[in-house]
């Protein structure tokens, strides 16, 4: 067994881990990063290949070798999921994601107390475990700003220090300055969506994206190639961790990345202090890294699984689980869709990046009055392709035909041939509530290629609050489709209840060690030198994608480790 020693070991070098590696390395700390997949280069993403990256999911975990199982409730056996929507290489999901880079609203951080103040406690479903964050928007605003400028985010401000600006998101929380880069060019679907939404009195704007709209920090601007989400960027215009923070970490001389690894245990001593991690190397060898600080930043399944796998006599229910909250409060976005198709014009959603979309925030968070609606919280609504990618394969898989048109045969062929370039998908990315019975644990029946238990998700979004919200939004989206001038408007079928996109929860952050796993900096209550950072710590979600908030929290946590913990190791209060 090979053993190395370092100041810090980071498990998972993606949206959070890459930032922490760069920031801690710049502070003079020796850092080793463990990554399950390879470290790719920009040149590896050329030529584009829809089969390789979309159909075969090459930039994502192999669902057979690294299975994740799902069941709607604890009474049934879980089955392996066929597609895993997160990263499997250095840079994580930021290599292939659609780049949407949102700041959360102010009320997203206090969804429970805000709801009670405006509608009373009775508005919150009795079985929901939704909770306030231990941090506020004001706490994160400087770190949101830093992430946008250091990584490179394109957009248009809608609230500059309290001054509302049409053309940006007028519902956003105040920001100190404009985005570092102008918004990407609008595509035809965005133009049509903008006109239709304004006709209905809504406030459309160009979504903020971690894609360079023009050259920035020695990287070129977007070429609008059309191969973006599910693909790596062939010119480096996508502001992934791969091309932003990992080179910074390398430049410190204090960072070492080990790829092809599988971390299977966080090691602790008799006092309960973390001493490092054990991992399998790419050659199958069993290795140990001894470290003063252990930071877990992989996807939420693996955060929870690793803590459960690391149980000891002192921590029989998993590390950092004295609260009993480990693995609980799983959340995910449910993507309700309405299709709008045109007989008299082309829309061409396959052209340009899939995230090159327009959005309305009118129905997100608590931006509208929920009185008498039968649900709380909301969704941002955007226009784009049917799924993650708008090429022929992606469209054939994801563009559900309208009622009366079969999914096979000559009629289906004719439908695709006519509407491939003549449709847009209006999507509601719904903010689903936390429930304590929606969990991640270890599957007793399914194991991965290393013989380790697979993460098991117990989750069903189909609850009264969520169903009422989806129905409300589907109706609004149908209205928008008609206002856009579409010839045909129809709903996509709803899913079976499985978690959708942007999973959050499992290692909740909070102010009370009795009801949370980590504090505001991701430091575990039980083990002060063990940190968990990423969307697994979110106490509630938002209608927005979590990546920019993960990155802002990572900057905040890195600042606390460098300027406080490094000088005085112990609980950060």
**C-alpha span between 354 and 341 (Å, rounded):** 17
Residue 142's DSSP bridge partners are none
pLDDT for the residue 352: 82
Tracing tokens 């709801």 back to the chain, one arrives at 115
The Cα 374–Cα 70 span in angstroms is 28
Q: What is the mean pLDDT of the chain?
A: 95
Find out whether 9 and 294 touch, Cβ atoms under 8 Å: yes
Locate tokens 């091309």: which residue?
Answer: 243
DSSP character at residue 563: I
Query: pLDDT digit string (tens) for 524-570?
Result: 999 999 999 999 999 999 999 999 999 999 999 999 999 999 999 99
Q: What is the pLDDT of residues 441-463, one digit of tens each?
A: 999 999 999 999 999 999 999 99
Is pLDDT above 60 for 355? no
pLDDT at residue 389 tops 80: no
DSSP-assigned beta bridge partners for residue 524: 518
With vertex at residue 361, the alpha carbon angle to CA 355 and CA 362, rounded to the nearest 5 degrees, is 150
Q: Which of 96, 114, 329, 502 is catalytic?
A: 502
Copy the structure tokens of residue 107: 């009320």
Proportion of the chain in helix, strand, coil states, percent, rounded to 5: 25, 20, 55
Structure tokens at 490: 């129809």
Confidence of residue 176 (pLDDT cuts 50, 70, 90): very high
The dihedrals phi and psi of 362, each to the nearest 5 degrees, come to: -60, -30
| Distance between CA atoms of residues 549 and 143, nearest Å | 9
For residue 182, pLDDT beyond 90: yes
List of residues 6+ apart from 361 with CB closer than 8 A = 169, 170, 171, 172, 203, 205, 367, 380, 543
Q: Are 356 and 99 in contact (CB under 8 A)?
A: no
The distance in angstroms from the start CA to the end CA of the chain is: 37
Q: Where are the domains of the chain?
A: 2-565
- Residue with the larger pLDDT of the pair 230 and 173: 173
3-state DSSP assignment of residue 428: strand
Q: Which run of H or E residues covers position 116?
A: helix 111-119
Q: Quick: pLDDT tens for 281-315.
A: 999 999 999 999 999 999 999 999 999 999 999 99
pLDDT tens by residue, 159-172 = 999 999 999 999 99
- CATH code for residues 2-565: 3.50.50.60
Measured CA to CA, the distance from residue 108 to residue 232 in angstroms comes to 31
Give residue-wise pLDDT tens across range 68-124: 999 999 999 999 998 888 899 999 999 999 999 999 999 999 999 999 999 999 999
Helix, strand or coil, per DSSP, at residue 435: strand
Predicted pLDDT at 356: 59
Length of the chain: 573
Q: How far apart are CA 265 and CA 268, in angstroms?
A: 9
Contact 556, 565 (CB under 8 A): no
pTM exceeding 0.85: yes
pLDDT at 97: 93
358 catalytic, yes or no?
no
């Amino acid at each position: 067994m090979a053993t190395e020693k370092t100041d810090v070991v980071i498990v998972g070098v993606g949206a959070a881990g890459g930032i922490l590696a760069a920031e801690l390395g710049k502070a003079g700390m020796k850092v080793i990063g463990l990554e399950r997949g390879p470290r790719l280069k920009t040149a590896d993403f050329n030529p584009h290949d829809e089969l390789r990256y979309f159909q075969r999911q090459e930039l994502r975990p192999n669902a057979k070798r690294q299975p994740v199982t799902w069941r709607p409730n604890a009474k049934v056996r879980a089955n392996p999921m066929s597609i895993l929507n997160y990263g499997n290489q250095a840079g994580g999901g930021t290599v292939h994601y659609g780049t949407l880079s949102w700041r959360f609203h102010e009320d997203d951080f206090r969804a429970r107390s805000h709801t009670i103040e405006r509608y009373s406690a009775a508005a919150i479903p009795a079985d929901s475990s939704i909770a306030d964050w231990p941090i506020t928007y004001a706490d994160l605003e400087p770190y949101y700003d830093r992430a946008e400028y250091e990584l490179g985010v394109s957009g248009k401000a809608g609230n500059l220090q309290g001054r509302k600006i049409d053309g940006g998101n007028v519902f956003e929380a105040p920001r100190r300055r404009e985005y570092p880069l102008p918004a990407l060019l609008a595509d035809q679907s965005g133009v049509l969506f903008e006109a239709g939404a304004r006709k209905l009195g809504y406030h459309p704007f160009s979504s903020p994206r971690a894609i360079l709209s023009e050259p920035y920090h020695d990287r070129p601007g977007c070429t609008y190639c059309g191969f973006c989400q599910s693909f790596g960027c062939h010119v480096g215009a996508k502001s992934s961790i791969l091309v932003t923070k990992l080179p910074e970490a390398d430049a410190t001389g204090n960072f070492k990345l080990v790829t092809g690894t599988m971390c299977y245990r966080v090691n602790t001593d008799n006092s309960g202090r973390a001493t490092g991690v054990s991992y399998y190397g790419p050659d199958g060898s069993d290795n140990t890294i001894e470290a003063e600080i252990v930071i877990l930043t992989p996807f939420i399944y693996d955060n929870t699984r690793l803590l459960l796998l690391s149980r000891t006599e002192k921590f029989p229910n998993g590390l950092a689980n004295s609260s009993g909250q480990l693995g609980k409060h799983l959340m995910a976005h449910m993507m309700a869709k309405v299709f709008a198709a045109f007989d008299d014009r082309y829309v061409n959603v396959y052209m340009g990046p899939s995230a090159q979309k327009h959005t309305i925030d009118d129905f997100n968070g608590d931006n509208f009055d929920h009185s008498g609606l039968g649900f709380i919280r909301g969704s941002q609504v955007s226009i784009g392709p049917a799924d993650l990618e708008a090429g022929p394969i992606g469209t054939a898989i994801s563009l559900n035909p309208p009622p009366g048109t079969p999914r096979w045969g000559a009629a289906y062929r004719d439908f695709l041939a006519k509407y491939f370039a003549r449709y847009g998908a209006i999507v509601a990315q719904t903010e689903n509530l936390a429930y304590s019975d929606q969990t991640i644990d270890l599957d007793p029946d399914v194991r991965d290629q290393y013989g380790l238990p697979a993460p098991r998700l117990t989750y069903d979004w189909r609850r009264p609050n969520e169903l009422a919200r989806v129905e409300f939004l589907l109706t609004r989206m149908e209205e928008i489709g008609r206002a856009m001038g579409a010839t045909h408007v129809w709903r996509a079928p709803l899913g079976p209840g499985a978690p959708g996109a942007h999973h959050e929860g499992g290692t909740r952050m909070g102010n009370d060690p009795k009801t949370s796993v980590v504090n505001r900096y991701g430091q575990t209550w039980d083990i002060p030198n063990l940190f968990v950072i990423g969307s697994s710590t979110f106490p509630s979600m938002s209608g927005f994608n979590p990546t920019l908030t993960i990155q802002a929290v990572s900057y905040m946590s890195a600042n606390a480790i460098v300027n406080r913990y490094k000088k005085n190791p112990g609980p950060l209060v």
